[in-house]
């Protein structure tokens, strides 16, 4: 056998576990792939109502938005209706910016992360995500690349090529007839699925 090659066996060293992405809470990180289906109305006066279902079709998250208000915001609830996150759009900003807070608060000490457009003019979606502790915002903690219009995006750790989730449009005739927009989100192992769900509509 050539030196440097290993064919496996009982003495094989265990593969290192990936560092978990527990932005909202470790309880939302699973050691396996989590498939989600996000459904929203193509036309919504509330500015962003949508549901998130698991692989069995059970709704696990709901988002309710407010459009006609001074501060546009959305609240993400669990299946029991408890608020998990509040997503607030920053007004009078050259870059599209959302601040995401814990629970139903918008206090500064409840801030979890900020998502903003990487540049003012862009043909493809490019969002940078900064955790609350990253106050300088010189380097992003996560980023999203792709096309929100086509519902085709990938989520990465910082500036690396390490993908943590991806989103693709799901075209079905019934949903099209009902004016619903549906897309699949695949959350990779050890990644906070609530964090990814919040990024889907920021």
Distance CA 156, CA 193 (A): 14
Distance CA 85, CA 132 (A): 14
Average pLDDT over residues 54-75: 80
* Spans of all domains in the chain: 34-200
Residue 150 above 90 pLDDT? no
Q: What is the pLDDT of residue 199?
A: 92
Residue 87 above 80 pLDDT? yes
Q: What is the pLDDT of residue 90?
A: 77
Q: Note the pLDDT tens digit of each residue in 124-146.
A: 568 899 999 999 999 999 999 98
Dihedral of the CA atoms 76, 82, 83, 84 (nearest 10)? -80
Residue 158 above 50 pLDDT? yes
Q: What is the pLDDT of residue 56?
A: 94
Distance CA 184, CA 93 (A): 30
Residue 177 above 60 pLDDT? no
Is the pLDDT higher at 23 or at 15?
23
Rounded percentage of the chain residues whose pLDDT exceeds 70: 70
Please tell me the CATH superfamily of domain 34-200, with its number. Answer: LURP1-related (2.40.160.200)
The pairing of strands 83-89 and 97-102 is antiparallel
What does DSSP assign to residue 77? E
């Amino acid at each position: 056998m050539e030196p440097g090659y290993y064919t496996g066996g009982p003495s094989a060293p265990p593969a290192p576990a990936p560092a978990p992405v527990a932005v909202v809470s470790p309880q939302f990180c699973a050691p396996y792939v989590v498939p989600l289906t996000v459904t929203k109305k193509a036309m919504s006066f509330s500015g962003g109502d949508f549901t998130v279902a698991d692989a069995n079709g059970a709704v696990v998250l709901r988002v309710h938005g407010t459009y006609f208000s001074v501060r546009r915001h959305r609240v993400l609830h669990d299946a029991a209706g408890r608020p998990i996150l509040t997503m607030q759009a920053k007004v009078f900003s050259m870059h599209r910016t959302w601040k995401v807070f814990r629970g139903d608060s918008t206090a500064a000490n409840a801030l979890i992360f900020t998502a903003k457009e990487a540049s003012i003019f862009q043909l493809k979606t490019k969002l940078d995500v900064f955790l609350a502790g990253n106050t300088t915002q010189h380097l992003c903690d996560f980023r999203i690349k792709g096309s929100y219009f086509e519902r085709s995006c990938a989520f990465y750790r910082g500036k690396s090529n390490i993908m943590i989730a991806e989103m693709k449009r799901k075209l079905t005739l019934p949903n099209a007839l009902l004016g619903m927009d549906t897309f699949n989100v695949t959350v990779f192992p050890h990644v906070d699925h609530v964090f990814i769900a919040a990024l889907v509509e920021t």
